[in-house]
Structure 1
Amino acid sequence: MMWQTLLAAIQSSFLDSLATPLQILALGCAVLGVGLQVGGSLVRTMLPLRWLTVASSLALMVYGALSPSMSTLAASLLLLPINVFRAVEVTRLTHAVKGAAAAADHVGHWLKPHMKVRKLKAGQVLFRKGDRAEHLYLLVQGEMRLADIGQQLPLGRIFGEIALFAPDHRRTHTVQALSACTVLQIHESTVRQLYYQHPAFGFHLIDLLAEGLAHDVARAEAAAQATPSQGGAIPEA
């Protein structure tokens, strides 16, 4: 009996909410607002979450005004500007990150004013494997190579970045000039300041670190494949 009474009350309330076009619109906005809230809770990235929350606040605000429900209206009016501010903030951050990633390839142009010129003669060593790292370098003229592995450095490329972020701050390779060279160098402390201040520089360093690690892994795999297996073979007498 109690369940029948409750069901009848719910049915009556639902039918009352559909009595006029405005009430139908209010109910639709309520369903939409709740649906957007549920959708926002299911997305995994911040940008769509924020804008779904904004849309939900708008829908519930319309519902609160038409139903009328003062508590829903007040809550929506309070949350809407907060959600809009956060959504705009995340949108701007997303655009800034994309712009920084696009500008990473040109980071050397605006980095040069922060760097000092250093010249080397042919055969001169810039730094040796195991030396403590204090500078980042950019090759602007001449030819240089990683002497311990025989790999030539491309012109215009930043190098020496891995050791700056390594726990022991030690160089992983020896760099030698093959001809008269000009390099630009920047101190570690300035590198860290620029890393925090300029997203483009940070993205460029991350790309360089990933590239260097990928090359090291490829060299290690090639060396492992070139080395004959020592196990399982029985030497002849």
Structure 2
Amino acid sequence: MDMTYLQHAGSAFASIFVVATCTMRTMIPLRVFGILTNVILISISIPTHNYPTLILHAVLLPLNAYRLHQMLQLVRDVKKSVNSDLSMEWLKPFMTERHCVAGEALFYKDEKAEDMFYIVSGRYRLVESGIELPVGAIVGELGMLSPSNARTQTLECIEAGTVLSVSYSQVEELYVQNPEFGFFFLRLASARLFENIDKLETRLAQHDAPPLPAAAQPA
């Protein structure tokens, strides 16, 4: 009688947890409830000698615990990447060195984009926007996000130096493998877009500004 009551109580608790998991939209609570369900059914299966259920949930318990650990680690990595700057030193072994001379165009607007660059030395300018890029900057990433994979601007070397290049295929692999790099890449692309927008807004404001009266113009 006691065993029958225990079985019914366990089944009721398990049913509640199963229904609760169906209402959840995120993975971490889902894994937590999965672990609780495993623990309850294992606890009930031992005194009732329900060995198939015991074996099933003894296998599922460590699996759910491992997946929960992975999700929590991913959340920590994401928070770390969002709240701190990512050093690009680890990326350099995946990149190819290229020496540039003054006047050389590393790529042209509207041509097919296949790689991005890390500036080691020298001076470089995005021709259309007039933005000069400092040493340590990454450029050429917007072509990867473009639906047509086309360059959005021309990059010109204005003082001889060295860059490192990495192909988009390698970037995609790193993006998937390293959450920190993935979020760094998104922040980089967003910053470039906002920088271009600010530049365009400044030019429009200057263009729309009324001309100075003749008396106010400098001699």
TM-score, normalising length: structure 2: 0.71
Tell me, yes or no, if structure 1 residue 75 matches structure 2 residue 56: no
Gaps of 5+ in 2: 209-219
CA contact (8 A) 1:137 1:159 kept: yes
1:85 paired to 2:63: yes
Partner of 2:211: none
Relative to structure 1, the CA distance from residue 227 to residue 34 in structure 2 (aligned partners, 3 Å threshold; closer, same or farther) is farther
Per the alignment, residue 6 of structure 1 pairs with none
131, 156, 159: which one pairs with 1:151?
A: 131
Structure 1 pair 118–61 and aligned structure 2 pair: CA distance change class (3 A):
closer
Match of 1:130 in 2: 110
Of 29, 37, 51, the match for 2:18: 37
Asked whether the 8 Å contact 2:125–2:157 carries over to 1, the reply is yes
3-state secondary structure, aligned to 2:149: coil
Q: Secondary structure at the match of 1:178?
A: strand
Which protein shows a greater Rg? 1
The answer to whether the Cα contact below 8 Å between 1:134 and 1:187 also exists between their aligned partners in 2 is yes
Report deviation, 1:155.
2.6
Partner-residue secondary structure (3-state), 1:170 = coil
Matching residue's letter, 2:41? L
Indicate the percent of aligned positions where both proteins have the same amino acid: 28
Provide Cα deviations, 1:5-59, integer angstroms capped at 9, x if missing partner: xxxxxxxxxxx87xxxx99887765554444333323222112212211212222
C-alpha distance in structure 2 between counterparts of 1:29 and 1:222, whole Å: 68
**Pairing 1:187–2:167 present:** yes
Instruction: Report the CA distance shift for 1:60/1:190 in structure 2 as closer, same or farther (over 3 A).
Output: closer
Q: Report the CA distance shift for 1:178/1:86 in structure 2 as closer, same or farther (over 3 A).
A: same
Q: Which amino acid aligns with 2:188?
A: L
Q: RCO higher in 1 or 2 (8 Å CA, sep ≥ 6)?
A: 2
Q: How many residues align?
A: 206
Deviation string for 1:152-174 (max 9, x for gaps)? 22431221012134332221011
Report what 2:39 is aligned to: 58
Q: Is the 8 A contact 1:51 1:84 kept in 2?
A: no
Please, what is the CA RMSD of the aligned residues? 3.6
Displacement, 1:222?
6.3
Question: 1:76, 1:41 → 2: CA distance?
Answer: 23
Q: Which residue of 2 aligns with 1:108?
A: 88
**Greater helix percent: which structure?**
1
Distance 1:143 1:184 in 2: 14
Does the CA-based 8 Å contact 1:142-1:182 persist in structure 2?
Answer: yes
Cα deviation for residue 115 of structure 1 reads 1.8
- Within a 5 Å distance, the mapping from 1:167-182 to structure 2 comes to 167-182=147-162
Report the TM-score, using the length of structure 1 for normalisation.
0.67
**Residue 95 (structure 1) aligned with residue 76 (structure 2):** no
Contact 1:125-1:177 within 8 A present in 2 as well? yes
The alpha-carbon deviation at position 211 of structure 1 amounts to 3.0
Query: Which deviations, in whole Å up to 9, do the C-alpha atoms of 1:112-132 show, x marking residues without a partner?
Result: 122222233344332221222
The letter for the 2-side match of 1:40 is T
Aligned mates of 1:192, 1:64 — CA distance in 2? 47
Q: Are residue 204 (structure 1) and residue 184 (structure 2) matched?
A: yes
Q: Is the 8 A contact 1:138 1:157 kept in 2?
A: yes
8 Å CA contact retained: 2:176, 2:182? yes
